[in-house]
Structure 1
Amino acid sequence: MLAGLIFAIEEAEDRPGMLAATLPFGGMTLLEYQVRLLAGAGAEQVMVAVGRMTPQLVSAVNRASRPGVSVEIVRSAEEASERLDYDTRVVVLADGLVTTDSVIDSMASEHGEALLVTNDPNSPAAIERLDMRDSWAGIARVSGGQLGEIAQMPEDYDFQSALLRVAVQAGAEHVPLTTSWLRGGHSVELSAAALATRSNAVLAALTERRTSWADRWIFTPIARLALPELTRRGVPGWAPLALGAVLGVAGVALAGWGWEGTGMGVTLAALAALVTAAAHASLTGDPARASAIETGVFALVALATLVLGASERIASGEWTPAVLALVAVAAQLLVERSRARPRRWWSSPSALPLLLAPFAMAGWAVAGLGLAAVYAFATLAAAVETNREKA
């Protein structure tokens, strides 16, 4: 079993009386974000170690609870150990820790004791010295039994420092903090202003996972600009999703009624809204919703392409546009199902409408469909060849 332990003791540096764990981050509190990361890694139980209770903390804990994950407040290692089996794996997050799901997943995936460390004492992730070379970088993996060991210490111990000491004495593996994890926003922050900056860094790391040229140069920058504003204004995650759905229906309908250029332009706007919604879902620790939105993106692109082909078939009286649209969609579907790692130049669901829209607006939709079919088929051939090389 995997469990989580989050420290929520320190006060915010720029908001006296307010715990750093309850500061806003990505449209929620930092504590809620941490709980969602742990839940995404498979934690079934999350404990929040506190020194004092505040109304904001209680509210954050209540909001963070979700089906399949219990969130409980504890005041000591003794309370925490009583709630866990001896051999339970426990992923520990430091007070004020900002990180990403890839870091949490890496630390949670192995067995045995481990400490995430940095050899740079001036790093924004460096918290406490472990030896002459390494400092703790905010994440530890321990066992339920080790929490029980801390519970036997004198009452005046510092919970977090004692946990580190026990892990070091047990020969915990030192896992180096990588440059990519730092670039993704991994750090420890105790001020609202710093958390706002780190929130943007985490957003950048989440949106950069979309690797195709269309996402990297068009849709990802849009999501990166939109999300901080949405979260700052408290706009719910369903809003960009609803906007994308409405614009998607409108774009497909316009293309079907013969307004092909306008319809494809509206479809591009729908894709921008959906990509933003997917990034928001990833930020809030809801990978299932993000994956569902990605599926919706492909469905919208496929429908818009097929409707464009059908509209051209009706206008010209020939089957060529419909066949080209079908080939483009079928080839892209096979690419999506391929296990090959996508390359930057490959076709993608977001690339096809970018290719089709200029031709449709210029009245050359058939040429655009032909180019899209060739592009998707060439990508499929490259994916097949990549799979053969791996085999």
Structure 2
Amino acid sequence: MPLAAILNATAVSGDKTDILRGQLIFASQMLIEYQARQAAHAGAQAIFIMVDQVTPIWSRMVDRLIGEGLDVHLMRDMASLVRLFPRDSDALLFADGMVVDQRYVSELGKAEGDALLVVDDDAATAHLERIDAVHRWAGVARMTPQTLFNTLDLIGDWDLALTLLRAIVQKQPARIVVERSDVLEGRLALVENQQTADLVGKSLSRPVNSDHAVVGVEAYTLDPIARMVSMRLLRQQMSAGHIRWGAGAVALGGLAALVPGWNLVALLLFLLALFADMVAGHIVSMTRMGAAHGWMRFLVPALVLCGVALLGYWSGARFDGLYLALIAALALLILDREKARPIPAWAYVSSGTICLILLAGIITAKLVIAYTVVTLLAIVSLGAMTLKRLGR
């Protein structure tokens, strides 16, 4: 079933009456932008944002989201929503100012029929809307088009989110329960002021929650540092796109260093480029900005693998370098396509793994042997990936 999202941006924040909850800054963007990107990441093909009036702030936000390829609409009244919302799509509903860990939003995106995200009713969740004696609403829900349109026809001037919530509850929906630890650690919260937004942002945007996949030796060497750096740059509102372009420039510098035979310098530049690309990947994952930047996520690995092939050609391992680059590229595409890891992270022969092994080969003056070894390892790794996929 196709999916579209309904977001609410009408509630006033607790800071100033002229600032809405949706306009609070969260993870380097407006909170409503974060919700929109979460919805898109969960599969929403169109996003409808309920506002009291269309202002320049909202218009600029819509332009940014449309620039990322999202289909976004500002709705001022119920009649417009009824007219424009696709009749064959389920609706993903977000409460005004609600922030939830992406994995729960994605789980709702995969649900079928009416479904609610709920938390246990206790002291830590007493401020949330009660559903029954057991659960309270965690601020996100999924509903069928029948439930949505049958309710929209009756809403009038009532609160949209709460009215739709009551309609879903009457349908005996499936319930997805948020873990208590996520509530206590701030990965689910109703954001009503900037201070709360900052606190929750630090929790939800921690790199430990990043779904940016890093495999190979760099998962245990470069990536822990990249996670810390990405968190610091995120707080400084550094653009992941700019970091990726910079990483690409460094990788090009590595290719240029191969021409005069500065092989050691080239490999060090390749590793630096891969490190910067990891940082950018974590920022994209944490902020949901840029839909992982499309083809740009392949820019640095592609340049590095070109360098691996050229280095092999000029160092006496002509075919090993070419085969190695092709095998690593194929493994990268398989991992990106399936997202899941068929084998453990350490078992991948990634771009970083290749560079580190070749670096050891240069230091020990055994570069041709290093190419032979890493090519054999890459073949074994790709074979293991293939067998695991076939055995599912």
Give TM-score scaled by structure 1 length.
0.83
Question: Are the counterparts in 2 of residues 211 and 343 from structure 1 also a CA contact under 8 Å?
Answer: no
Question: Are the counterparts in 2 of residues 65 and 71 from structure 1 also a CA contact under 8 Å?
Answer: no
RMSD: 3.3
Instruction: For residue 72 of structure 1, report the CA deviation from its aligned partner.
Output: 1.4
1:366–1:196 CA distance, 2 compared to 1 (3 A)? farther
- The answer to whether 1:286 aligns with 2:287 is no
Deviations 1:12-56 (A, max 9, x none): 334553212112223321111222232344434322223566654
Partner of 2:278: 275
- The answer to whether 1:370 aligns with 2:372 is yes
Instruction: For residue 85 of structure 1, report the CA deviation from its aligned partner.
Output: 5.0
- The answer to whether 1:72 aligns with 2:82 is no
In structure 1, how many angstroms separate the alpha carbons of the residues matched to 2:82 and 2:122? Answer: 31
Partner of 2:9: 8
1:191–1:92 CA distance, 2 compared to 1 (3 A)? same
- The answer to whether 1:240 aligns with 2:243 is yes
Deviations 1:269-297 (A, max 9, x none): 1111222233334433433625x234224
In structure 1, how many angstroms separate the alpha carbons of the residues matched to 2:319 and 2:268? Answer: 22
In structure 1, how many angstroms separate the alpha carbons of the residues matched to 2:43 and 2:59? Answer: 23
Look up the equivalent residue of 1:322 and give its one-letter code.
R
Look up the equivalent residue of 1:289 and give its one-letter code.
H
Look up the equivalent residue of 1:309 and give its one-letter code.
G
Question: Are the counterparts in 2 of residues 30 and 96 from structure 1 also a CA contact under 8 Å?
Answer: yes
Which deviates further from its counterpart, 234-243 or 206-215?
206-215
Partner of 1:263: 266
1:49–1:254 CA distance, 2 compared to 1 (3 A)? same
Partner of 1:354: 356
Partner of 2:48: 47
- The answer to whether 1:225 aligns with 2:228 is yes
Question: Are the counterparts in 1 of residues 51 and 74 from structure 2 also a CA contact under 8 Å?
Answer: no
SS at match of 1:299: helix
Deviations 1:128-177 (A, max 9, x none): 11111111111111244444444455756333222211111122221222
Q: Gapped runs of 5+ residues in structure 2?
A: none
In structure 1, how many angstroms separate the alpha carbons of the residues matched to 2:269 and 2:155? Answer: 66
Instruction: For residue 102 of structure 1, report the CA deviation from its aligned partner.
Output: 4.0
SS at match of 2:85: coil
Report percent identity of matched pairs: 22
Alignment size in residue pairs: 381
1:323–1:198 CA distance, 2 compared to 1 (3 A)? farther
Which deviates further from its counterpart, 363-372 or 347-356?
363-372
SS at match of 2:219: helix
Question: Are the counterparts in 2 of residues 46 and 71 from structure 1 also a CA contact under 8 Å?
Answer: yes
Q: Gapped runs of 5+ residues in structure 1?
A: 314-320
1:286–1:186 CA distance, 2 compared to 1 (3 A)? farther
In structure 2, how many angstroms separate the alpha carbons of the residues matched to 1:333 and 1:68? Answer: 29
SS at match of 1:345: helix
2:196 to 194, 210, 224: 194
Partner of 1:308: 311
1:113–1:247 CA distance, 2 compared to 1 (3 A)? same
Instruction: For residue 224 of structure 1, report the CA deviation from its aligned partner.
Output: 2.7
Instruction: For residue 5 of structure 1, report the CA deviation from its aligned partner.
Output: 0.8
1:60–1:335 CA distance, 2 compared to 1 (3 A)? closer
1:72–1:51 CA distance, 2 compared to 1 (3 A)? closer
Instruction: For residue 203 of structure 1, report the CA deviation from its aligned partner.
Output: 4.8
Question: Are the counterparts in 1 of residues 320 and 371 from structure 2 also a CA contact under 8 Å?
Answer: yes
Question: Are the counterparts in 1 of residues 343 and 384 from structure 2 also a CA contact under 8 Å?
Answer: no
Instruction: For residue 298 of structure 1, report the CA deviation from its aligned partner.
Output: 3.0
- The answer to whether 1:37 aligns with 2:33 is no
Partner of 1:331: 327
Instruction: For residue 90 of structure 1, report the CA deviation from its aligned partner.
Output: 1.0
Question: Are the counterparts in 1 of residues 155 and 163 from structure 2 also a CA contact under 8 Å?
Answer: no
Which deviates further from its counterpart, 301-310 or 52-61?
52-61
Instruction: For residue 186 of structure 1, report the CA deviation from its aligned partner.
Output: 4.2
Deviations 1:58-91 (A, max 9, x none): 543443345561321334x454334335553111
Deviations 1:325-346 (A, max 9, x none): 3343343344345566131221
SS at match of 1:128: coil
In structure 2, how many angstroms separate the alpha carbons of the residues matched to 1:125 and 1:294? Answer: 42
1:51–1:377 CA distance, 2 compared to 1 (3 A)? same
Question: Are the counterparts in 2 of residues 211 and 342 from structure 1 also a CA contact under 8 Å?
Answer: no
Question: Are the counterparts in 1 of residues 231 and 283 from structure 2 also a CA contact under 8 Å?
Answer: no
SS at match of 1:350: helix
Question: Are the counterparts in 2 of residues 9 and 51 from structure 1 also a CA contact under 8 Å?
Answer: yes
Following superposition, which runs of at least 4 residues in structure 1 exceed 6 angstroms of deviation? 179-184
Question: Are the counterparts in 1 of residues 54 and 76 from structure 2 also a CA contact under 8 Å?
Answer: no
Deviations 1:153-212 (A, max 9, x none): 575633322221111112222122257976894443233233334434335256454142
Deviations 1:226-247 (A, max 9, x none): 3344444443333112211110
In structure 2, how many angstroms separate the alpha carbons of the residues matched to 1:343 and 1:336? Answer: 14
In structure 2, how many angstroms separate the alpha carbons of the residues matched to 1:11 and 1:350? Answer: 48
